[in-house]
Structure formats: C-alpha cells, structure tokens
A and B are shown apart, each in its own frame.
Chain A
Amino acid sequence: MKKRRFQPGAIFLTVAMMVALFFPAGSAAEPVKEIVVGNISAMTGPTSGTHMMCQSGSKDYLNYLNESKGGISGKTGKVKVKYLAYDSQYVATKAKDGFARLLGQGMAVWTQCASAHSDALITDYETAKVPLVTGSQGISSLYSDWAYGNYHSGIANMIRTWIVWVKSDWEKAGKPGGTLVLGTITTDEPYVPLALWDIDSFVKEQGITLVKETFPKGTTDASPQLLRLKDAGAKQIYVLASATGAVVVLKSAKSMNLNIPLTQCAAATLGDVIALGGAELADGYQGEYFFEPMSKDPKQSASPGLKLARELWAKNHPNETPNDMYLNGMLSGMVIAEGIRLALDTVPADKLTGEAIKVNGFDRINGFDGMGLTKPITYVKDDHIGQKQVRYWVVRKGFVEPVSDWMPTTTFRIPKK
C-alpha cells in the first residue's frame, strides 16, 4: 500500500475551517442586515400615476442610500433597505392583502401616499406594530400613534390655510371693498366633502363670505360655475379638483377672459397642470406646496434635497417627465431613513423591529428638513402631522415661482369616528 505523503495544503485548509468555525469574522465582513420597507400603492387604476410617482421617490432614495452609502448607518451598526412594493389597485381589501403579504416578508416600516389606505389599514399596522410614513394621512390616521405624515396637516386644512393667506393679503391692502368674498369650484370627487368639512364655521369665524360651486367630474366646461362666482364678486377662487379638472377650469376661465386669480389645491400639484394644459394656459395659476417643488425653474437656486431629487430622477427615469409627487415620496424615504438612523444609534441592527424604529427613531425626529426640501418636521406625542408650513407658488413661463413666504398652516382635524 502506498504510504500517504504529508499534505501541507490539507492541513492549512483544516486549520482555516476551524478558525472560521470558532472565530467568526469580525463585523467588517458580516453581511449587512436588511430592513424591509413595504410600499402599498395603486400601481394600476385611476390613481396609479400619482401613486407610482410617490412610490418611485421613496424607492429611488432608499436605493440610492444602499448604493452610494452602503445603507443607513447609526452608532451601533448599519442596515440596508430592502424595498418591497404591492399593488393595491386603490382597493382597500387588496391593500389589506398586501399588508399581510409584506408582513410575512418581514416588513418593519411601510409607506404610501393614499389617505384611504392610511385609514383602512389602521388596525393592521397598529396591531402588527409596523409604523407608517405617509404622504397622505386620513382622518383616523391623523390620530394614530403609528402613522407619521410628511405632507400636509389633513386635507381640510388646505382651503382653510388658503383663506388665511388671501385674507391676510386683503387686510394688508386695506380691506378693499369692505367685505372679502371668495369662491371655491370643486368636482364631485370623494375627497371634496372632506376638504370642505365644516368649512362654514371657519368662514363665519374669519368674517368672510365663501361662495361654493361644483362641476361634475368629466365635464369639459366650467364656465357657468365661474360666471356665477364672478357675479357673486369673488376676489379669488380656490380649485378643488384633479389636474384634469383644473385644466377644464383654466380653459373655461380663459375662454371668458376671467381675471380672478385661481389657486389649485395640493391634491394635484401645479407641475401636473403645466404638463397637461401647457405652460401658456397654466400661466398665472397659483398653488400650494409643502416642499420645494420639482417644477421650479432648474436655473434657480435649489436646496441640496431638490438637487438630489433631480439627479435621482435623471438617473432612474431618463425618458420621463418629472412630477412633484416624486418629492412627496422621496420625503417619505428620507423620513424613513432618518428614523432608522436614529434608531440605530441606540438599538443594534439585529434588534431593529418596527416598534424599535418607532420608539427610538420616528418618535425622536426633531427639526428634520430633508436636506432643505421642506420645513422642519418634528414628531411629538399625539401629533405626527409632520411639517406645518406651506408656501404659495405661481406658474410663470412653464415653471413655478413663489408668491408668498412660508406660512403656518391651520391645524384643524376632522373629528375621528
């Protein structure tokens, strides 16, 4: 029998295996832990355009952190984000299915831009202890301890804040006409009654007159409604409609040479109206933003947040037109990253649950402005609304420019049933 020869290679291999077994590699070689961030949005259906923009914003930002920074780092370690999305078709039951699926895939935080989902899933995310970061809070979720907003303080505050702004300018101008008459023109979409919730009490409180007109969704002419508002002496008109509805109002206003300033509600941003109706039609149209808009002239100075948003858009969607909702989603991504970062300061990566991120992360967010993209966001107990300042902008030559300084929003909350 042939005598076996001494094999140094075999011994080295054995020693190496034993070392690997008993002395695991240090943290530098450890795989970075993944945190699952879920997104439940209508990727199909009538609201898909808005929702997909919002989803792309948060996804692109969190992917950017993974790729350029290797993930999110805190004092105790680092995590990468695994972003999983589910198509709800804007159907609440599907959204619930999606929540269950993503929960099964280890979701620790979730995000979206639909107030209906924020409210319909409230029992699910509170029970599962998975915090929500949203660009659109519903009536019930405004009261939830597990929902964190970044966009606006409830839909009912959009028109209220506008009234305060217009009234303030009117008072500065010496109250011309003696009485301030304002108008609203709204479609019959489901969010409209919420936006106008108990508005009559507010109008009475403010000592002004508000004339309300409605035009059916899908109509192509809003001239009769605008004419009635003009005859009622409205100084300014607030448009509560989607971008399509806004274009109908603008076309009707143009056809009748109406020179009353029109303001778009935040439900559809000015960028959409410019894209849909064209720069000429949208010229002079006003709107409100809770962040620095994507539709701002690229030649103007921009915050680091907006610059980054433009870079991410150019990289990920080179052949598409940017949309302001992208920033809404990106802000959600930024808030999520900030929450995880803060939580990682006190909780090790392997102990990072939804509850740990909420308590040690989101609840500690204070003065966070998303790289200058928005005004400071601070979450305190019983108030997860986020930032409470708004700025009004006007369309000029296809871009938007500010017509007001940042001003505080009203903080009305529709009573929770």
Chain B
Amino acid sequence: MSKTPFYPPSGIYSDSYYKDMRILKTRTQWILSVVSLVFLFALPHIPFLNSSYFLRLVIGAGITVIICLGLNILTGYCGQLNIGQSAFVMVGAFTSGLLNAYLGWPFWASVIPAGLAAAVVGTVFGIPSARLKGLYLALTTLGAQIILTWIALFGLTITAAGFSVEPVKLGGIVFNTPEKFYYVAMLFTVVMTFFAKNMMRSKLGRAFIAIRDNDKAAEGMGIDIFRYKLIAFAICTFYAGVAGSLLVHYMMWAQLESFTLQDSIWYVVIIIVGGLGSIEGTIFGVIFITGLKELIFVIGPIAEEKLAFLPIGAGSGLLLVIIGCMAIFFLSFEPRGMAHRWNLIKAYYRLWPFGY
C-alpha cells in the first residue's frame, strides 16, 4: 500500500493498473472501512443502539440491501427494469422454508438452493429480455409477480396459509433473537455487498454497463447481449432468493402476504433514491428510506392526534405521500440519486482546498 497521507490527498493518483482498480485506495478509506466493520460487529453491545427494536431495523435494512443490490445490478448496471423483485424474494423464501419444514434442511443447507431456485425462475422470466426493452420488459416482470403469486396462492395451499420455519442454528447457537440474528444478517449483507462491488469492476460488470449504455455498440464489441442479460437476471434473482431465505429464517414464519407488488415498487424507489448503477447508492437508499419510514411512524400518529380534522389513518398515510413525493423529487432534481451527491462530497474533500 502506498504511503497515502491521512489528510485530504488533493486527488488520488494511481501509477499502475493494479492501483487504479483497488476498491480502497487511501489509508483513510482503509481506516474508515475497518472502523465501520468494528462498529458493525460491536453494534449489539453499544448502549442506546442495542435495543431490540433498533437491531430489528438494522436487520431489516440489511436484508433489503441484499434484495436491492440484486435489483441494482439488473436495473442500474444492466439497464433491465424489474418490477417483480418481491416475487423472486418469495421464491427463495418458500424454497428455503419448505426445504426446512418438510425435509428438515437447516438454513445453511437451504440458503444456496433458495438463491439458485430464484435464479432459475428469474432467468426464465428474463428470456423475454432478448426481444423486449424498457417498459415492455418491465411489464413482463410485473407478469412474474402476478404469475408467481398466483402459483403460491393456488398451487400450494400451505404457502397461502403460512407455516413455521426453524431459526438459524450453528452448533449449539440458535439465532432466534435480533441480538443473535443480527450477525447472520450482517455477514450476508457485507459478503454480498463485497461480491457485488467486485463483480461490477470485472469483465461481467463492464459488459452489463456496456449493454445498459448502448446495447448495439456492446454487441458490436463482441458482447453476447442475450447471454449477459440472462446472467444479470440470474444474479439479480439469486440475491433476491438468498434474501428471501434469510427473511423466513429470521421471521421463523413464511407466508404469501409478505411478498407483495407494493414491496417490489418500494425496491425500485430505493434504488432510484440511492442511485441507479451504484453499490454505495443502494446502501444509501435503504438507509434513507428506512430512516424516513421511522420518522413518519413517529410524526404520523402525532399529526393525527393534534390535527382533529384529519380522518382515521390519514396521519400514518403520510408515509406513502412523502415517499411518493421523494421519488418524484429525486427523479426530477437528482436522477443519479444520493450516490451522486456522495461522489461530489468525496471529490470536494479530495480536492480541497483547490476547487478546480
């Protein structure tokens, strides 16, 4: 590692391809990364932050990060719109849940099959991407949401009724509390974020970006567009499947009503707000929307109590209004999402005090 100073380096200079490709380029970034990992590890033991409720929020955010990372790889990097992500989460959830409930497979044995099952189904629904683009492709993924929900509703009555799933176990440890499951969720979140970040710097990631930016030019460069689109669908839905598996073992319960079209829309809003085509943006989007939801959970009921003219539920309904406005705001004024702001801040920091 080069002797990069701790203070703002006024730009980052790489004198080899290897250095240019590094994720962590400065000592500051290394220190911040290590501190972040230590903080994540110690979180359940930090006073005021270790409440069961807060940990549940973090677990929920971690699982959502995995779902949205997959979606961002497909939509943000590869340019293929998917508005049925929740259905693929459901495929992973039910695969893992049923393997556990009927065959007794533990989480560790069923998580990869869950991801693979979702990936297979996702690839099938990705086939129309060979001929369709944009809104038309989005409609096929909407079809996936409807078809898969219908199958879960009428194909297997147990998935409509709901069933119990065992918690994650490792040796003698049972991860059945937020304090314990937190570590499982964070392990998967960190590892899958790392994979996603690396994948997007590889040949595969660059092919995705080329397809997104101009598919004809990409084809001209020798990229097999159909193959890469299907790979993008498979990766996206694999992430969804793994998240689904985590979700049911965390909930210890699997039921159809947990995977709705509204959830799929939320995931799209999250990556728009965070930043399409950005791994960091996905994390920002999840944190922002989770925080916003919590804020409105507090403000909504108070507003309803103080403002007597509001009908029942109107205060809490603010959530949907504000998040809808937020999506419009970001699309209108910051279409590159929070990740773009973050990049501007980083650039300003690196170049300070020279503003050119």
A140 to B57, CA, bound (A): 26
Contact A56 B312 (CB under 8 A): yes
* Contact between chains at B312 and A104 (CB < 8 Å): no
Q: Summarize B's interface: helix, strand, loop or mixed.
A: helix
Within the complex, which residue of A89, A119, A193, A194 is in contact with B253, where a contact is CB–CB below 8 Å? A119
> What sequence of 0s and 1s flags, for each residue 21-59 of chain B, a beta carbon within 8 Å of any chain A beta carbon?
000000000000000000000000000000111001100
Q: Which residue of A lies closest to B157 (CB)?
A: A193
- Residues of B288-305 at the interface with A, using a CB-CB cut-off of 8 Å, are 297, 300-301
Least Cβ–Cβ distance between A203 and chain B, in angstroms: 17
Q: A45–B261 Cα gap in the complex (Å)?
A: 12
In B86-137, which residues have CB < 8 Å from any A CB? 101
Interface residue tally for chain B (C-beta within 8 Å): 41
**Do B311 and A320 have beta carbons less than 8 Å apart?**
yes
Q: Known: A188-B153, A193-B161. Contact between A96 and B56, CB under 8 A?
A: yes
The smallest C-beta distance from B258 to any residue of chain A, in angstroms, reads 5
Please tell me if the beta carbons of B301 and A85 are within 8 angstroms of each other in the complex. yes
Is A359 among interface residues, defined by CB-CB distance under 8 A?
Answer: no
B101 touches A92 (CB 8 A): no
- The contact of B162 among A43, A46, A104, A116, by CB within 8 Å, is A116
B262 interface hit (Cβ, 8 Å): yes
Closest to B51 in A: A104
Given A44-B316, A119-B162, A140-B162, A197 and B53 contact (CB-CB distance below 8 Å): no
Whether B252 lies near A123 (C-beta < 8 A) is: yes
Q: A52-B312, A87-B316, A188-B150 are in contact. Are A100 and B255 (CB under 8 A)?
A: no
Residue interface bits A76-94, CB-to-B below 8 A is 1, else 0: 0000000001110111111
Please tell me if the beta carbons of A104 and B52 are within 8 angstroms of each other in the complex: yes
Structural contact, A43 and B253, CB atoms closer than 8 A = no
User: Does B256 interact with chain A (Cβ within 8 Å)?
Assistant: yes
Beta-carbon contacts of B149-180 to A below 8 Å, as 1s and 0s?
A: 01001100110111110000000000010100
* Complex CA distance for A85 and B60, rounded to whole angstroms: 20
Contact B56 A43 (CB under 8 A): no
Closest to A414 in B: B161
Which of B53, B153, B158, B258 lies at the interface centre, i.e. has the most chain A CB atoms within 10 A of its CB? Answer: B53
Q: Is B313 an interface residue (CB 8 A)?
A: yes
Q: Given contacts A49-B313, A100-B52, A104-B51, are A93 and B251 in contact (CB under 8 A)? A: yes
A-B complex: 6 closest residue pairs judged by Cβ atoms: A43-B316, A417-B163, A101-B53, A52-B313, A100-B53, A100-B52
What are 17 A-B contacts with C-beta separation under 8 Å?
Answer: A44-B319, A90-B257, A91-B258, A93-B251, A93-B258, A100-B52, A100-B178, A101-B53, A103-B52, A104-B51, A119-B253, A120-B253, A123-B176, A188-B150, A190-B257, A193-B157, A319-B311
A interface, CB within 8 angstroms of B: 43-46, 48-49, 52-53, 56, 85-87, 89-94, 96-97, 100-101, 103-104, 116, 119-120, 122-123, 138-140, 188, 190-191, 193-194, 197, 317, 319-320, 414, 417
